Each structure stands twice: as structure tokens, then as C-alpha cells.
């Protein structure tokens, strides 16, 4: 008997999105806003002023205990044990084959405490990777696995470690929190003027990129990270679900005279593409190892042991590599379109669009190493028409400092 698929989950902000006239799409098992007005207008707002995104579909894991740092060194590709409290780091969860299970952001919230944020569609895969690593890396008596019911106390300023019985506790706290991204050149001014927001840790004007600070909103704990997925400066705000709606409303009101608009997944996708940021299921998958995707720098290959280390050296030397492609005109290559060198198919587009910021088509593609040098002239098969394209360095767009 065929099981009926579970309906998509909804964000704590769903009713507000409906009231704003959003169109929705299923993304990673969540019913999320794809746009409110115009993809182009929302994209430009982020580049020129600011955009507000609901990213509550992302998954959050707490990793706590005296062995937390060493455990993350083992289960993730990077070296997390050297990261300072208050900082963040991009990393990868790898399969034993060396392929990418997910890409994550890790925040060090204490000497023995970390927050790991993963993609919505990979929540179960990351949880399984953590559980498998726990089972093989530490004796059962030294580990504890929690769930959303083990969420930190909402009365504290910063999410505190969950209670465990051993030297390592991993808890999925996704359902206890909402995530809101405030992105764009006006983001700092808007957040600073949002009624009810108080920064209790490092002031925003002193907070470095890929760092976090503690705060509060109307008495609820507010985790403020200077991170994002748009290529612009901005913040990602984690707050208990009960206060998410009020924070969303307050931020929109504070940014009303600064050009802030609510933004959906369509604008988020073109923004991250211009910034050369990979998307799982497009540029990243279990069939792709980090070096192919230009992420070899993320892997601390000198670590004595970590999940996927042995598999990284077993791939073929001629495996396709990720490149940027730029074209003239208005016709853009889309995911799945073939890339050719002369009459030979040498690769495939993974993401592509007409860049709203640059005014010409851009794409990311996996191509044969022999066709990957910057300046190489290729063509894209756009529905039977060959469109000239040139290999270029990523990212396509870089914000002014």
C-alpha cells in the first residue's frame, strides 16, 4: 500500500505571509513564500536597501558537552575545535564516500557548546549522520541524543546547553525556534532601530562577519548572527517560535522608511547565485566531493580522522568541477541544460538565471577539467539554441566592503 506523503510543514510566520499576499512553494518539505510581489523588486531591494526573509525551515542542532568540539572535528569536514566562542564557521557533513551530505554553519556558543544549522531538506540526513558518528566515536555511556523537547529555556538570553547524561549531547531543537534573515546595506540600521530589540553582547558595530552576539526581543532570547545567503551584509536572527511573529512585524515597521521589503525564495535564489553560493541538490550532493565544488579549503585534511576522509582520495582524476559561466543577451541557461565545447558535451548547468544586478545571464555548471580554465569559450544548449558562454571566476557579484 502506497503511503500518502505528509503535507508540507508551515512556518510560525505562515499567516503573516498570507496576509502579505505571498505565493508559496514546497521547499524541503515546508510550504514557504516564493515571492510577495516581484522577484526582481525583491532582489533589488536586498542589493540596494534590505530584505526580510523567513528561513524558519532551516534545521538547528545543539551539540554540548566536554567532548563536543572533538566530536564536531570528527563528524564535520572542518576543524571546529579551534574556533573561538562567539564565532561561526562554514563546514560540511560528509558521507564515508567523501560525498556531501549537507553544508552547515556552526556557531560556537560556549567552550563546550555549539549550534549547527543545516538545510531543511537534510534535517533527517544530518541527524542520522550525527547519530551514526556518536555510535562509532564514543561509547554509548558517553552520549545522549535529544530532540525538540529538550529545547533551551526561553527565559535565557542565549540558548543554553540541553541537559545530557554523558560527555556529549546532540539535540535537534528545530521546532523550538524560528529564523529570520535581515539582509542588505540597511540591515544594521534597521535592526538597531527595531523596537523591542536589545543587544546584550557584542554591539552590532563591533560584530565581525561570521560572528554572533546575544540579544533579547521583548524579554525573549535573541541570537543574532552576522551571516547570510545573499552576498550582502546582514543578520540571521534566531528566536523562540512564540515571539517570531512580533519580531517580524517590528522589523518590517522599523524598515518601512529604509526600503525594507519581505522577500521570498525566488529572490534568495538569484541573490545566492550572483554571490556564487552553492545550493544543496544543485551544486552539492552525495555524488560530489568538496574539491569538485571548489570547497576543498573547507576540509581540514590534516586531521587524523574524520568521516569521509578515506573516500576523498578515491574519486576519478577527471571528475567534473564547478565553474561560473557568463553569457550575453537575455537567454539564460537553467539547471540541467548541457554545456558543450565544440560539438562535445562537457558538462551540465546546475543553476542559472538572468542576473538582475549584472543584466546578463550567469550560471554555475559542472564541466570536465579540460574545459574549466577561466576564459574558456563554451556554449550552452538553451532549448536547441547554442548560446556562447565564457568560463569566469566565482562569485559573479561581490558587495562593496
Label residue 143 by pLDDT band (50, 70, 90).
Answer: low
- Boundaries of domain holding 29: 1-61+120-278
Q: Measured between alpha carbons, how far is residue 244 from residues 54, 184, 193, 201 in Å?
A: 10, 20, 17, 20
Q: Cell 505571509 maps to which residue?
A: 17
Q: Where residue 178 falls among pLDDT bands split at 50, 70, 90?
A: very high
CATH of the domain at 377: 2.40.30.110
For residues 230 and 352, state if they share a domain.
no
pLDDT digits (tens, 9 = 90+) for 35-84: 999 999 999 999 999 999 999 999 999 999 999 999 999 999 999 999 99
Residues 6 or more apart in contact with residue 147 via CB below 8 angstroms: 171, 172
Q: Which residues, 6 or more positions from 137, have their beta carbon under 8 angstroms from its beta carbon?
A: 71, 74, 75
Q: Are residues 259 and 131 in the same domain?
A: yes
Crossing angle of helices 265-274 and 39-48, rounded to 10°: 50
Measured between alpha carbons, how far is residue 117 from residues 45, 122, 314 in Å?
Answer: 26, 11, 29
Specify whether 323 is located in the same domain as 389.
yes
Q: For the chain, what is the radius of gyration of the CA atoms?
A: 21
Cα 113 to the center of its chain, rounded Å: 20
The number of residues in the chain equals 401
SS3 content of the chain, % helix, strand, coil (to 5): 25, 35, 40
Task: Judge whether 103 and 278 are in contact, CB under 8 Å.
Answer: yes
Model pLDDT for residues 205-233, shown as the tens digit of each residue: 999 999 999 999 999 999 999 999 999 99
Q: State whether 36 and 176 are in the same domain.
A: yes
Question: Which grid coordinates belong to 144?
Answer: 545522549
pTM for this model (two decimals): 0.92
Identify whether 146 is part of a domain: yes
| 236 in a known ligand binding site | yes
Number of separate helices (H) and strands (E) present in the chain: 8, 22
Amino acid at each position: 500500500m502506497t503511503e500518502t506523503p505528509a503535507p508540507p510543514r508551515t512556518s510560525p510566520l505562515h499567516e503573516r505571509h498570507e496576509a502579505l499576499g505571498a505565493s508559496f512553494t514546497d521547499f524541503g518539505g515546508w510550504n514557504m513564500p516564493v515571492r510577495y510581489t516581484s522577484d526582481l523588486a525583491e532582489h533589488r531591494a536586498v542589493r540596494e536597501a534590505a530584505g526580510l526573509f523567513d528561513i524558519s525551515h532551516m534545521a538547528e542542532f545543539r551539540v554540548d558537552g566536554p567532548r563536543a568540539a572533538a566530536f564536531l572535528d570528527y563528524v564535520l569536514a572542518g576543524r571546529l575545535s579551534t574556533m573561538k566562542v562567539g564565532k561561526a564557521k562554514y563546514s560540511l557533513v560528509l558521507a564515508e564516500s567523501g560525498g556531501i551530505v549537507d553544508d552547515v554553519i556552526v556557531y560556537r556558543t560556549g567552550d563546550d557548546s555549539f549550534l549547527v544549522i543545516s538545510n531543511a531538506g537534510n534535517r533527517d540526513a544530518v541527524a542520522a549522520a550525527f547519530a551514526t558518528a556518536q555510535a562509532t566515536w564514543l561509547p554509548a555511556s558517553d552520549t545522549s541524543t535529544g530532540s525538540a523537547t529538550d529545547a533551551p529555556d526561553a527565559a535565557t538570553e542565549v540558548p543554553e546547553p540541553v541537559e545530557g547524561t554523558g560527555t556529549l549531547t546532540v539535540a535537534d531543537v528545530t521546532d523550538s525556534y524560528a529564523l529570520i534573515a535581515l539582509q542588505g546595506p540597511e540591515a544594521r540600521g534597521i535592526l538597531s532601530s527595531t523596537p523591542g530589540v536589545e543587544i546584550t553582547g557584542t554591539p552590532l558595530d563591533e560584530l565581525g562577519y561570521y560572528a554572533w552576539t546575544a540579544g533579547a526581543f521583548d524579554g525573549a532570547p535573541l541570537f543574532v548572527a552576522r551571516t547570510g545567503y545573499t552576498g550582502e551584509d546582514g543578520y540571521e536572527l534566531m528566536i523562540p517560535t512564540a515571539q517570531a511573529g512580533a519580531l517580524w512585524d517590528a522589523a518590517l515597521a522599523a524598515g518601512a522608511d529604509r526600503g525594507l521589503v519581505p522577500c521570498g525564495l525566488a529572490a534568495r535564489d538569484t541573490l545566492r547565485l550572483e554571490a556564487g553560493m552553492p545550493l544543496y541538490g544543485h551544486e552539492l550532493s552525495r555524488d560530489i566531493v568538496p574539491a569538485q565544488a571548489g570547497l576543498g579549503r573547507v576540509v581540514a585534511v590534516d586531521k587524523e580522522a574524520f568521516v569521509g576522509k578515506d573516500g576523498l582520495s578515491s574519486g576519478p582524476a577527471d571528475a567534473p568541477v564547478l565553474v561560473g559561466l557568463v553569457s550575453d543577451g537575455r537567454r539564460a541557461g537553467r539547471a540541467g541544460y548541457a554545456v558543450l565545447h565544440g560539438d562535445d558535451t562537457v558538462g551540465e548547468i546546475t543553476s542559472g538565471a538572468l542576473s538582475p544586478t549584472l543584466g546578463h545571464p550567469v550560471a554555475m555548471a559542472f564541466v570536465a577539467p579540460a574545459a574549466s580554465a577561466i576564459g574558456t569559450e563554451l556554449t550552452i544548449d538553451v532549448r536547441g539554441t547554442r548560446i556562447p558562454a565564457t568560463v569566469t571566476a566565482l562569485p559573479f557579484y561581490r558587495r562593496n566592503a
